[in-house]
Amino acid sequence: MMIYSEGEKAKNHKPVIECPEEVKAGEEFELRVYVSGHPNKTEHSIRWIEVYFEEEGRDFNPIMLSRSAFSEFVSPDVTLKVKLERSGKIVALAYCNKHGLWEGEKEVKVV
């Protein structure tokens, strides 16, 4: 399956990740993932968002943090409370029933 992150349709399909760029080890922070400007209709909607963490130095990656499913009546927007012990990368996947799978990512440094 092809995963998209760039292109003409990226602005209203690619998941946006909002969280601090730097966090304290073991301290809870807010992580928000959403898709903005997408027409949520039965025939064209974001059906789900999955959020993963690829932890530096971990043998088995990625770690699934969340999977949220949506109907056309729900805005594709997820907020999580997360605690990390090591730096790494947040990776979000959003599935559009018309245009496939989209990926966004963001590095997070743990101090």
pTM above 0.75, yes or no: yes
Place of tokens 């304290």: 24
Distance CA 90, CA 94 (A): 13
What pLDDT digit, counting tens, does each position of 49-100 carry? Answer: 999 999 999 999 999 999 999 999 999 999 999 999 999 999 999 999 999 9
Using alpha carbons, list the distances in angstroms from residue 64 to 36, 38, 106: 22, 24, 15
12 backbone dihedrals φ, ψ, rounded to 5°: -120, 20
For the chain, what are the domain ranges? 3-110
What pLDDT digit, counting tens, does each position of 23-40 carry? Answer: 999 999 999 999 999 989
Q: 3-class DSSP state for residue 10?
A: helix
Task: Show Cβ contacts of residue 71 under 8 Å, excluding neighbours closer than 6 positions.
Answer: 45
The class (CATH top level) of 3-110 is: mainly beta
